[in-house]
Structure 1
């Protein structure tokens, strides 16, 4: 019996809702067309749909994002590192309470070895003509960070091998939803030739017409909703089973926009703004910022991170600060100023390594670098600011009032993004790193402002 199935996939939307109205309209219309023809449709999200840089996501702690997926009738989703690591444990536990789709996350566990009630290792779907489709999923292996939040993880490739072995006994077609990145997807295909499709994300790669890896077809749709992935499956279920998959991408900017798109996007923003109107503090005087000059707000944040991490000194980039503050400061104001899902971090460096970090931080090419990623949602790196790091006229550097000693070990408070990126190599390669989760830098700033400006 001949059969055609249609699979749509999104990944790494990161709460970029500017494209969502087009995606929403497109997927609903395509589902209606296929179902009218008697053909089965599956829609999957491959993680990082939630990103707390957007006020709607921040105000609803991601539950609003889940409602958006519900509206389009997604079949299943997996979690990315943004769902898994930027939400406190209790928030992730509740995130999918009202989900009308399956949540697949084979390598996420509770500390006692059991699985979260909302996360399944795999799911088997049966088409209208009786073909069985086994779907499993795994997310990026940031085990030390998950442990800090109260979760446990298994190594994803090993976990997927276990799930695929099980699915081989039960399913005609096997699909992996992989928030692991392109290199791991190719490794999965190489070691598991029985897998038909790997729908990937995390590294924001784009496969315009898929990519063959052995017997497996890889699909990936970039980031921020720039594309919607599509897999067409042609099957013949007997007497000899035949299956063929073809991949393509739809460029979202070319899709038809619904007439109310601008209002819809604005409504999401306004919903978040209303939910974040709680007053944090009332300032007696305005606080300013600059990305290229010394200014108040970056200095306050740097000192706050120094205190929070109980360090010898601290350094951050002023590009973190995206707006000034004055008068009544609400949670919305802090979110607008510091939208980044970035956590404080403390690293252990020798004095020689710290000197190298400072030299690199003072490089104007770095301070003027424009980038986004690693949690940073700003525009440019900005001038580095310091606390308990002082430059003297004779080129001596003082750390906590004492000349920097190349042989001494220092505890340096900074941002987790510098431990993941290539900007400051001694921090990325530090022998000891302590991450402070689940608090973001905006939570630390709130703590500091309340301490400085608390009502008498």
Structure 2
């Protein structure tokens, strides 16, 4: 038996590219004279796209239905950027299986419509699909989910189905380094379909006998794995990628539809909120103030590049606010000593990233921009630092309100190791919108 598995991952609501992939699948799958499956390996949903925001990801599920998806798993965007209730409702109308072995509610139940694994029998061969997602524990806990160790979850699920399958396929939304380790830990795996770290293998990569396949990000590629199965065992396997630029290019109206769905006015009077990344503007100051108030912090620091678009007009709609702050970024409260806070202030004044093109960690803008300090002051020549007009005490514990992207160590390494409370599910745009209602 020959079996073809098409796979996508980390689409991140790049729906134009996904429309091209869907058109290709609709054209090519019926031409095959053997069975085929289509799997999505997570992060299909990304609320940085208006139509995804407006439907809380349900439009993405409709698109997966239209593409005749057979199995999907969840990435961190499905698991962490929508509320607990929204994830439980996300797949209400899915026509495909959804599986993930390592995310549970506090009672030990999987999210609605998810199973811990899937077995599909194709021409008498039993294929076990096991999936796991990246364990961003603080974020999941803030949303009342429990995320367990993905390696142990996969091992447990495979062991639980011992003797019940012939072929083993792992759907991993944990990243390439995890997948490489998995090849060593479970060499009986036939194929790992990988994602999360946006890696790709043009022709797959064999590691300890396991074929690793991955299709990058944003729908730039469609993955295809072809297996030859004899006597219920895989005798050959190969992987290919198809560049989106070479697929049928189709017309879409996703942006217009998203704008229509987010057309509700937030403010119905004149508003001028400029975007400036290299100086403090009214807009960035208001954003810093809104985060300061929302986090109930002693002080706040943000970067001006979080403001992606200006707003100017006679009204402000949900769409306008979304476009200004499209990031799936949440706020945090960080407990930090005065001495460490001084270090943060000093580092911020170097403005190392003010003109840097930033990518990842939830940031959906372009230029990182300069740092904005709120309720913080300093006299550089005297090395004196202040909160609310009072000199900072090195030994005192303060609360810093800021954005979660600073807690991963890229911009302020010292913040990675501090006591941090993640405030979910509100995004920056939700917090800023409430601030705008005061004006």
- The two structures have a TM-score, normalised by structure 1, of 0.93
Partner of 2:47: 52
- For the structure 1 residues 321 and 283, does the alpha-carbon distance in structure 2 shift closer, same or farther, using more than 3 Å as the test? farther
Partner of 1:26: 24
**What is the correspondence of 1:54-453 to structure 2 with a 5 Å cutoff?**
54-127=49-122, 129-237=123-231, 241-257=233-249, 261=250, 263-264=251-252, 267-326=253-312, 327-392=314-379, 394-395=381-382, 396-430=384-418, 432-450=419-437, 452-453=438-439
Partner of 1:10: 8
What secondary structure is seen at the aligned counterpart in 1 of 2:165? coil
- Deviation track 1:146-197 (CA, whole Å, cap 9, x = no partner) reads 1211222221111100111133311110101000001111222211121111
- Deviation track 1:228-253 (CA, whole Å, cap 9, x = no partner) reads 11111011127xx4521111211111
Q: CA deviation at 1:393?
A: 6.8
Q: Hey, which bits of structure 1, 4+ residues long, moved more than 6 A?
A: none
- For the structure 1 residues 285 and 27, does the alpha-carbon distance in structure 2 shift closer, same or farther, using more than 3 Å as the test? closer
- Deviation track 1:417-454 (CA, whole Å, cap 9, x = no partner) reads 11124111111222x0011000001111011112x22x
Q: CA deviation at 1:312?
A: 0.8
What secondary structure is seen at the aligned counterpart in 1 of 2:398? strand
Quick check: 1:148–1:437 contact (8 Å CA) kept in 2? yes
What secondary structure is seen at the aligned counterpart in 2 of 1:112? coil
Single out whichever of 131-140 and 351-360 deviates more from structure 2. 351-360
Q: CA deviation at 1:398?
A: 1.7
Looking at structure 2, the residues matched to 406 and 177 of structure 1 have their Cα atoms a distance apart, in angstroms, of: 48
Q: CA deviation at 1:15?
A: 0.6
- For the structure 1 residues 93 and 193, does the alpha-carbon distance in structure 2 shift closer, same or farther, using more than 3 Å as the test? same
Looking at structure 1, the residues matched to 432 and 92 of structure 2 have their Cα atoms a distance apart, in angstroms, of: 31
Looking at structure 1, the residues matched to 257 and 410 of structure 2 have their Cα atoms a distance apart, in angstroms, of: 37
Quick check: 1:167–1:174 contact (8 Å CA) kept in 2? no
- For the structure 1 residues 176 and 393, does the alpha-carbon distance in structure 2 shift closer, same or farther, using more than 3 Å as the test? closer
Quick check: 1:354–1:426 contact (8 Å CA) kept in 2? no
What secondary structure is seen at the aligned counterpart in 1 of 2:36? strand
Looking at structure 1, the residues matched to 60 and 134 of structure 2 have their Cα atoms a distance apart, in angstroms, of: 20
5+ residue gaps in structure 1? none
Looking at structure 1, the residues matched to 27 and 166 of structure 2 have their Cα atoms a distance apart, in angstroms, of: 28
CA RMSD in angstroms, aligned pairs only: 1.5
Quick check: 2:409–2:415 contact (8 Å CA) kept in 1? no
Q: CA deviation at 1:283?
A: 4.3
Aligned residue pairs total: 437
Looking at structure 2, the residues matched to 242 and 146 of structure 1 have their Cα atoms a distance apart, in angstroms, of: 37
Quick check: 1:164–1:195 contact (8 Å CA) kept in 2? no
Q: CA deviation at 1:284?
A: 4.8
- For the structure 1 residues 242 and 45, does the alpha-carbon distance in structure 2 shift closer, same or farther, using more than 3 Å as the test? closer
5+ residue gaps in structure 2? none
Quick check: 2:91–2:112 contact (8 Å CA) kept in 1? no
Q: CA deviation at 1:285?
A: 4.3
- The two structures have a TM-score, normalised by structure 2, of 0.96
Quick check: 1:83–1:92 contact (8 Å CA) kept in 2? yes
